[in-house]
Amino acid sequence: MAKWSGIVAVVSLTVFLMSVTAATVLPIHPYLKVEDTFISQLYDTSNYGFLQIDNGLARTPQMGWSTWNFFACNINETVIKETADALISTGLASLGYTYVNIDDCWSRSTRNLKGEMIPDPKTFPSGIKALADHVHSKGLKLGVYSDAGIFTCQVRPGSLFQEKNDAELWASWGVDYLKYDNCYNLGLPPQKRYPPMRDALNDTGRTIFYALCEWGIDDPAKWAGKIGNSWRTTDDINDTWISMTTIADINNKWASYAGPGGWNDPDMLEVGNGGMNYHEYKGHFSIWALMKAPLIIGCDVRNITADTLKILSNKEVIAVDQDPLGVQGRRVYASGPDGCQQVWAGPLSRNRLAMVLWNRCSKAATITAKWSAIGLEPSISVSMRDLWKHEVVSENIVGSFSARVNAHGCEMYILTPRRATRSSI
Ligand SMILES: *[C@@H]1O[C@H](CO)[C@@H](O)[C@H](O)[C@H]1NC(C)=O
Ligand SMILES: *[C@@H]1O[C@H](CO)[C@@H](O)[C@H](O)[C@H]1NC(C)=O
Ligand SMILES: *[C@@H]1O[C@H](CO)[C@@H](O)[C@H](O)[C@H]1NC(C)=O
Ligand SMILES: *[C@@H]1O[C@H](CO)[C@@H](O)[C@H](O)[C@H]1NC(C)=O
């Protein structure tokens, strides 16, 4: 096996991409026999794009924090500064959570006489530029929110037909990220409403992450890769088990479309907001990472608990999300009542696989992953590492693996086949 280095990473990723993009062939897992084509369908990446929007961003899914899930409209410049400080003091920023995103409600409800959006003078008296300067001084980045309609969902000014002026204003403030919502859209098709903002952001000359929030209505995975760096595939998440699992299943359908430059977005994290238990949040985070989802924290980081911090700062799980291969993992097997004992898996760089045993049943269960179900030849010997216990389970597992998993809990692993047959990927 070739020795790992940054150069090998780039070369093998490039080779992989050429094979995917040039011939639109499946990236058959290196350990599969060619005749096992039914298995290779597991990790179908026939729609995988690579830097289609060409703004240099989103090589890996974006990470950061957003106001919405915890604060909704109850925001102001103080809470955002305090959160930026908390991202630093908790160590989350140094793990990659660098975007500090203001969601809806930062803007006054009317534009000024020049037609410009203005920060709400009551809650953002110092303005967004001052906030951007503060956030930048900490090495973080600032995001704002607007809408591809005439109003935002909370009835602040939207940017439809005002894309150029709004983008220029945000760029002049030093904004680094835009979440672009879908309310009050006059019934115009999203394929008409979202590209003008891409072009307006590009014309500013400032590098600005473009996150589409079209709620998955018109199957954005099919067309958004050339428009934005991520696209919501579902309705808004809420802090419940049913919402989180429903969204995971919908997002899973679009796995073949994710890739460096543009990601499926199953919405922001609810971890730490209190509506789910520790096991459920651990599953939420593990599955989001396996699915190469944006990892945007949605809790009050200033008041974070040890359990929440433990989940959000699991470096090994974050590394799965941020793996340079950029192939979205997916559900590959389900058994038990209503298929609630599930195996999710996906290929990683350096010939590895990530795997989550996800128990969506209401009782503890033993879940088994057969190698054939996750795309490995049955005779392959695998070294397995547990990403939550942070230890090697075994250096030599062949054929299948079983583990007891808590009700609504998960276990997550990286599998490294020991008999390398090919040195790349
Ligand atoms: C700012 O927002 C936070 C969070 O909602 C709130 O606790 C605080 O009272 C607000 N501060 C001001 C000055 O409005
Ligand atoms: C604008 O788009 C071009 C190509 O379409 C790209 O090369 C350039 O980096 C983009 N600039 C910004 C600021 O996004
Ligand atoms: C949360 O999401 C679930 C599943 O999508 C939905 O049925 C429920 O109505 C939502 N709850 C709230 C309070 O929005
Ligand atoms: C901090 O979190 C605890 C629960 O984890 C909660 O009881 C408390 O009200 C929170 N404090 C603030 C200021 O939000």
Ligand 4 atom closest to Cα of residue 303: 1
189, 250: one domain:
yes
Mutation probe of ligand 3 site: the residue of 236, 239, 243 with most atoms within 8 A of C-beta? 243
203, 305: one domain:
yes
Chain centre distance of CA 298: 13
246 lines ligand 3 (CB under 6 A): yes
72, 154: one domain:
yes
For the segment 89-102, what is each residue's pLDDT rounded down to a tens digit? 999 999 999 999 99
How far apart are the CA of 256 and the centre of ligand 3, in A?
27
Q: Does residue 34 have a pLDDT over 80?
A: no
Active-site pick, 36, 44, 235, 236: 236
97, 235: one domain:
yes
Task: State the distance between the two ends of the chain, measured CA to CA, in whole angstroms.
Answer: 10
For the segment 109-167, what is each residue's pLDDT rounded down to a tens digit? 999 999 999 999 999 999 999 999 999 999 999 999 999 999 999 999 999 999 999 99
Domain harbouring 374, CATH code = 2.60.40.1180
226 - beta bridge partners?
none
- Residue corresponding to tokens 């590098």: 207
Domain-embedded: residue 177:
yes
Number of domains in the chain: 2
- 27, 20 Cβ separation under 8 angstroms: yes
Note down the domain range covering 88.
63-321
Active-site pick, 176, 181, 321, 323: 181
275 lines ligand 3 (CB under 6 A): no
Rg (CA), the chain: 22
How far apart are the CA of 244 and the centre of ligand 3, in A?
10
307, 390: one domain:
no
239 is catalytic: no
Q: Does residue 37 have a pLDDT over 90?
A: no
69, 118: one domain:
yes
Q: What distances in angstroms separate CA 11 from CA 7, 59, 258, 353, 396, one per listed residue?
A: 6, 15, 20, 19, 29
- Residue corresponding to tokens 């793996």: 323
Looking at the CA of 72, name the nearest ligand. 1
Domain-embedded: residue 130:
yes
Report d(CA 374, CA 378) in Å as an integer: 10
Domain-embedded: residue 55:
no
> What number is the average pLDDT over the span 26-37?
39
For the segment 295-322, what is each residue's pLDDT rounded down to a tens digit? 999 999 999 999 999 999 999 999 999 9
Residues recorded for the chain: 425
Which residue type sits at 189? P
84, 120: one domain:
yes
Looking at the CA of 70, name the nearest ligand. 1
Q: Would you call 152 helix, strand, or coil by DSSP?
A: coil
In this structure, the strands spanning 330-335 and 341-348 are antiparallel
Q: Does residue 58 have a pLDDT over 90?
A: yes
pLDDT of the residue at 19 = 36
Q: Does residue 216 have a pLDDT over 70?
A: yes
Percent of the chain predicted with pLDDT > 70: 89
Provide the mean pLDDT of the chain: 90
Alpha helices in 41-148 (DSSP H): 68-71, 77-89, 127-137
Report d(CA 154, CA 142) in Å as an integer: 21
Looking at the CA of 176, name the nearest ligand. 2
- 133, 84 Cβ separation under 8 angstroms: no
120 - beta bridge partners?
none
236 is catalytic: yes
Half-sphere exposure of 266 (CA within 13 A, CB side): 27
Read off the pTM.
0.91
Q: 345 phi and psi, to 5 degrees? A: -155, 165
How far apart are the CA of 54 and the centre of ligand 2, in A?
6
In this structure, the strands spanning 230-232 and 341-348 are unpaired
71 lines ligand 1 (CB under 6 A): yes
Q: Would you call 404 helix, strand, or coil by DSSP?
A: strand
